[in-house]
Amino acid sequence: MEMTPDEITVFTVGGFTVNATIVFTWIVMAILTLTSILITRNLRPDVPPNRWRTTLEAVVLTIQGQINEISARPDRRVLYFAGTLFLFIFVSNLLAIVPGWHAPTGSLSTTAALALAVLVAVPLFGIASRGIGGYLRSYIEPNIIMLPFNIIGEFSRGVSLAIRLYGNVMSGAVIAAILLGVAPFFFPVIMDALGLLTGVIQAYIFAILATVYISSATEVAETEPKAAVTKDQT
């Protein structure tokens, strides 16, 4: 039994092996892109919203509401980033009910890439919000002794994100394989239902944690100069 989509070779081009992780990632990207284009192609004030546009707006507003509750200084760019993470993970896991589908989030390479994206986004958002000096000062707070610990903590966030998402997906696959071996006719329905629920939870937790890390990096400490805060808010 193939444990991860990395082990499944779909085709080879010029000696380069394209595995299931890459192919199914492309499929998810295509689905999200085409769906967005189709829903928003008539996005005009004079065109009444249809049910698909209403659903999309509800999803966006829900994500924005969660970000507003977490961050003291909401940034619309966080919506774009965290929302993309949520939709990608959710759709990847949702399609697991399709026979032959291998969720790309079941690959450690995919989860590591998503975690790396968060690791890169955190300092970028922090620098954009607080400036280079203000963000770097956060590594020596409350004193310079904390510098190595803060650096280690920054990287451990990414590692924990990758392992958490990968572990959740793979544990679900292992449990499903065991149950299918015990009762192959009854448990598939239950596992599909649990898979849908788990997919939503995984996507939600990952996006929320990414938002929390970004909000922590963009939060202006009380010890920072007020002039810098005022300049950043403008």
Quickly state the pLDDT bin for 211 (edges 50, 70, 90): confident
Q: d(Cα 68, Cα 64) in Å, to the nearest integer?
A: 6
Both structure tokens of 44: 């005009």
183 φψ region: left (φ > 0), alpha (ψ -120 to 50), beta (else): beta
Please tell me the total count of domains within the chain: 1
pLDDT tens, position by position, 137-147:
877 777 788 78
Summarize pLDDT for 19-64 with one digit per residue, the tens: 888 999 999 999 999 998 888 887 777 777 788 888 888 888 998 8
CB count within 10 Å of CB 219 equals 15
Q: How far apart are CA 41 and CA 49, in angstroms?
A: 11
Domain hosting 175: range is: 5-233
Measured CA to CA, the distance from residue 83 to residue 71 in angstroms comes to: 15
What is the pLDDT, as a whole number, of residue 27? Answer: 94
Smallest Cα–Cα separation from 65: which of 49, 51, 79?
79
The answer to whether the pTM exceeds 0.75 is: yes
- Write down the mean pLDDT value for the chain: 77
pLDDT digits (tens, 9 = 90+) for 109-158: 888 888 888 888 888 888 888 888 877 887 777 778 878 887 887 777 76
| DSSP 3-state of 10 | strand
The torsion angle over the Cα atoms of residues 197, 115, 162 and 199, rounded to 10 degrees, is 10
